Structure 1
Amino acid sequence: MPTYRDEVVVLRTHKLGEADRIVTALGRRSGKIRAVAKGVRRTSSRLGARLEPFMVADVQFSRGRSLDIVQQAESLGSYGADISQHYDRYTAAHAMVEAADRLNDPEAATAHYLLLVGGLRALARGDHAARSILDSYLLRAMALAGWAPGLVECARCGAPAPHDQFVAQLGGVVCAACAPTGAARIDPATIGLLTALMAGEWEIVDAASAHSAGAASGLIAAYAQWHLERGIRSLQHVEAAR
């Protein structure tokens, strides 16, 4: 049976039978992987702790017909314990891995993997507000998938800035002529914050007002869920944690 190795971040797990688990992971080279980890729910298993959500591991798999099989796993990053001790980090991490599960682009697998690992590491260390880390991750992940929001020119007609309306369905900020009735208003400070979140300019992000942070989070959530076509269920718990 052919085998392969990859660095992975565990997205989610499901019970299988009495002692096994199905592990869904994002591989650095392979993209999304679904594999069976046999016997990991037994108390004697050392493998189980290395294959929990938010963990990063070097894993050897054997290829199967529908699901691959986990043969070995070595821990590379134990972020789950630190994340799970803080509700805001825990809910943000769940929203991140749920989005990563949806954004399965094999051509950008390495970039998606590195982005997610960096976000989980920042959450575990508490480098910035959990919601800001999540917002930055969602914007960058959408950009990697080819859905970067337009934040300068009108996303529909290309009219030059400034614009003060944001429409997720049209791709970002839009001019008054393109904006439908009831389009969300966006002030310059919030546009600046969205740009900083996209670029990873953390001094600007950390100094943003609560009003701008809340407005940006709402727009990012609407934008991501529109393009993913299904809601990110974990986001409802992130909102409750704010």
Structure 2
Amino acid sequence: MTSRRLSTEAVVLRSMRYGEADRILHAITPEHGRVGAIAKGARRPRSKLGGRLEPLAVVQLELQRGRSDLMTVVGADTVAVHHRILTSHAALESAQRACHVVDRTCVPDEPAARVHGLLRSLLALLDGRPDAAHEGLQLAFRLKLLYALGLQPALGSCVRCGRHDALVAFDDAQGGAVCAACRSGAVSIDPGSLAFMIEALGAPLQDAPSAPPAVARQVHRAINGLAAEHLGVDLRGEPS
């Protein structure tokens, strides 16, 4: 029988005002995947929860399961804060976009230790080096996120015939590059974009390659196509 009370580390993905004094949050946890919870009275001046549940915060949550999908926050202790991210528009935007895609792609009650660790690594990088925020880093994060969720695009050979050269398109349904002879129905992709994806997947986040605009557009399209085809989610919208 599932315990009705749980304690877990969590990264707060988003937090919304609810009612007169409550707050609803989504967070990613290692053991329980994405969780939704209500923090009752969190917006009252004397609440002990208060600013601990803001987006990007890493907290140790004490949660109580109820009858609805939303758990109840009964306690929260700060594990890590990322004050320097807030001083840089680029770093803050990058962190918010990363939280958005994690919120969209992860589901409740499925362990997500790799995703949780990946997001923590990105936030620590941006907090330590706010100037590290660039589009290549965001794309590298998303590629690694898909990999953590079990989606590793085939980039070194044609997913239809196995050919290793003349890779000219990307097949979302098959999950990888295709050659000129097999390209029917696939979307064109340049060698530079495939090379970026290979390098980004193989390098640590702090060494993410830069992505020129044309490469970024093609890689975003491939990532969005994979997410839509295999996860059933639309990543095209960005957080406001």
Give TM class, smaller chain: 0.7 to 0.9
Whether contact under 8 Å (2:91, 2:132) holds in the other structure is: no
Whether contact under 8 Å (2:158, 2:167) holds in the other structure is: yes
Q: Which of residues 195, 199, 206 is equivalent to 1:196?
A: 199
Taking the aligned partners of 1:112 and 1:148, their CA distance within structure 2 comes to 14
Q: Secondary structure at the match of 1:9?
A: strand
Taking the aligned partners of 2:35 and 2:205, their CA distance within structure 1 comes to 32
Q: Secondary structure at the match of 1:161?
A: coil
Percentage of matched positions with identical amino acids: 29
Moved more, 43-52 or 157-166: 157-166
- Corresponding residue number in structure 2 for 1:111: 114
- Partner deviation per Cα, 1:79-119 (whole Å, 9 max, x = no partner): 2x433333332332222222212222755411111111112
RMSD: 2.8
Q: Secondary structure at the match of 1:194?
A: helix
Inter-CA distance 161–63: structure 2 relative to 1 (3 Å threshold) = same
The count of corresponding residues between Structure 1 and Structure 2 is 235
- Corresponding residue number in structure 1 for 2:234: 231
- Corresponding residue number in structure 2 for 1:95: 97
Instruction: Note the C-alpha offset of 1:139.
Output: 0.7
Whether contact under 8 Å (1:15, 1:21) holds in the other structure is: yes
1:9-158 matches, within 5 Å, as 9-66=11-68, 67-79=70-82, 81-101=83-103, 102-104=105-107, 106-125=109-128, 126=130, 128-158=132-162
Taking the aligned partners of 2:45 and 2:152, their CA distance within structure 1 comes to 45
- Corresponding residue number in structure 2 for 1:167: 171
- Corresponding residue number in structure 2 for 1:240: none
Whether contact under 8 Å (1:13, 1:52) holds in the other structure is: yes
Taking the aligned partners of 1:234 and 1:88, their CA distance within structure 2 comes to 18
Whether contact under 8 Å (1:98, 1:234) holds in the other structure is: no
Q: Which amino acid aligns with 1:153?
A: S
Q: Which amino acid aligns with 1:78?
A: V
Q: Secondary structure at the match of 2:58?
A: strand
Taking the aligned partners of 2:47 and 2:119, their CA distance within structure 1 comes to 27
The unaligned stretches of length 5 or more in structure 1 are 238-242
Q: TM-score, normalised by structure 2?
A: 0.83
- Partner deviation per Cα, 1:19-60 (whole Å, 9 max, x = no partner): 011111111212121111111112232412111111111111
Inter-CA distance 104–182: structure 2 relative to 1 (3 Å threshold) = closer
Q: TM-score, normalised by structure 1?
A: 0.82
Inter-CA distance 198–127: structure 2 relative to 1 (3 Å threshold) = farther
The unaligned stretches of length 5 or more in structure 2 are none
User: Where has structure 1 moved over 6 Å in runs of 4 or more?
Assistant: none
Whether contact under 8 Å (2:97, 2:239) holds in the other structure is: no
Whether contact under 8 Å (1:153, 1:162) holds in the other structure is: no
